[in-house]
Amino acid sequence: MPRVRRVRLSFVPGLDIEFVDRDRAIQQVLEWGERGTRFPVVVFGPEGCGKSAWLRQAAEVLSEGGYEVFYIHPLDRLVHAEVSIPSVKEAFLEFARKALAEDAVGRIAWALFDFVRDLLKVRKARVAIIADDVFQAIGLRYAAAYVKGLLNMIEHPQYSYENIVIIVATSEGLSRAEIGRHRWAWMMPMWNMSREGFEKLYRQIPEPKPSFEEVWRLTGGNPGMLAKLYQARWSMDEAIKNIITSKDLDTFILSLSAEERKWLLEAVENPDTLPAKEKLPLMQKLIELNLIISSITYRDPELWVDQPPPQKDLELGIGKYIAWQTPLHREAVRKALQEVSTA
C-alpha cells in the first residue's frame, strides 16, 4: 500500500491519537479514488466503531490523490474544503460559517450540490464528497431524497467531472432501512476494529490500564467504547450504567411484555435467537436504540468496509445473522433486565 499521511484525532480531551490500522479500509478508499464510486457509498455500523475517524482519513487520502474534497460533519460543526478554485472554496466556507452561526447545519448538506456544480462549471475535476452523519442534520425523513440527490450528481451531472467519489456515514440504525429500500445507494457495513488493529490503539493509551485481553472482551474492538471506559477510569460498572442511562433502557424494558423480556434474555445469550416473525417488533426497537446490527449474514470482504466481523463469536455477542454492537451494549441490556425484574 502506498504511504499515506495518517490524520490525528482527538481520542479524549487531552489525548490525540494518530489514525491507526484500518489498512484495508484505506486501500478501499484508494481504489475508489481510481475508479470513482458508481453509487453514493453509505456506511453504517456500531456506534463508536470508527466511521467518523475513517471518513477523516478518507478525506486526507483523496485530497493527496488529487481530489477536490468537500467534507462535512454537521453535527460536529466541522466543515473542510480542499478545493483548488479559491472562489468556490471561500464561498462554500462562508456559507457554512453563516449556517453554523444560525444553527442551521442541515443547510450545509443541501448546499453541497450547488458548490460542487459551481466547481465543475469552472473545472472538469475529480470531486469527492464526504458527509458524516448528515441524515440527523437534515432529518431522517429526507435521508432517501438526499441520497437520491447524490446519485443524480453521479448519474446526471450538469457539468461533467473527471471522476467522483461519494461516501456518507450514518450512525442512525433506522436510516439503513430508509435508504436501503431504494436502488440509490451502495450500502456497506463497517465493523469494530480487528484484534490486531485494536491492540495498536490500546498500546497508545497511557497506563494504568487493564490487560488488553480484558479490554478486548469488554469492547469487542470498539474504539468509542474504549474511550468511554478510559473516561470512566476503567470502571466497567460505570460504563454500563452510563449506557443504561443514555438509552433509557429501564423504560424500554418496562415497555416490554413478560414474553418479550424472555426473548430479550435469550438474545443476550445468543442474538441469533432474534430473527423470528413474532420477535420483529422487539428487534426493530433494538435496532432503533443502536444496540444490535441485523442482517450481517454475508461476511464476504468486498461487502464490508475494512474487515468483516468473525463468522460467530458469542462471547463478543456476534451471531451469524445478528450482533450486539459491543459486549458492553449487551451487558447493559442484561443489567437493565435484571434490575427491572427484581424491582
Minimum CB–partner distance for residue 286 and ligand ATP (Å): 16
Closest among 240, 220, 45 to 53, alpha carbons compared: 45
When the beta carbons of 51 and 279 are compared against ligand ATP, the nearer one is: 51
Of residues 51-80, those binding Mg ion (CB under 5 A): 51-52
Tell me if 170 contacts Mg ion by CB under 5 A.
no
Minimum CB–partner distance for residue 56 and Mg ion (Å): 10
Chosen from ligand ATP, Mg ion, none, partner binding at 67 (C-beta under 5 to 8 Å by type): none
Span interacting with Mg ion, options 32-40, 50-58, 89-97, 331-339, rule CB under 5 A: 50-58
Three-class DSSP category at 3: coil
Backbone angles phi, psi at 216, to 5 degrees: -65, -45
Distance CA 144, CA 127 (A): 22
Where do contacts with ligand ATP occur on this chain (CB under 6 A)? 9, 11, 17, 19-22, 47-53, 133, 171, 201, 223-224, 227
Minimum CB–partner distance for residue 334 and ligand ATP (Å): 22
Chosen from Mg ion, ligand ATP, none, partner binding at 327 (C-beta under 5 to 8 Å by type): none
Tell me if 37 contacts Mg ion by CB under 5 A.
no
Three-class DSSP category at 320: coil
Q: Using an 8 Å Cβ cutoff, are 179 and 144 in contact?
A: yes
DSSP state of 69: E
Q: Using an 8 Å Cβ cutoff, are 130 and 122 in contact?
A: no
Chosen from Mg ion, ligand ATP, none, partner binding at 20 (C-beta under 5 to 8 Å by type): ligand ATP
Q: Kindly provide the residue ranges of all beta strands, DSSP E only, lying in the chain, ordered along the sequence.
A: 8-12, 15-18, 41-44, 68-73, 78-82, 126-132, 163-170, 186-189, 292-293, 323-324
Distance CA 279, CA 151 (A): 35
Span interacting with Mg ion, options 49-57, 237-245, 272-280, 292-300, rule CB under 5 A: 49-57
Chosen from Mg ion, ligand ATP, none, partner binding at 292 (C-beta under 5 to 8 Å by type): none
Chosen from Mg ion, ligand ATP, none, partner binding at 224 (C-beta under 5 to 8 Å by type): ligand ATP
Chosen from Mg ion, ligand ATP, none, partner binding at 25 (C-beta under 5 to 8 Å by type): none
Distance CA 226, CA 241 (A): 15
When the beta carbons of 48 and 327 are compared against ligand ATP, the nearer one is: 48
Q: Using an 8 Å Cβ cutoff, are 108 and 80 in contact?
A: no
Site residues for Mg ion per CB under 5 A:
51-52
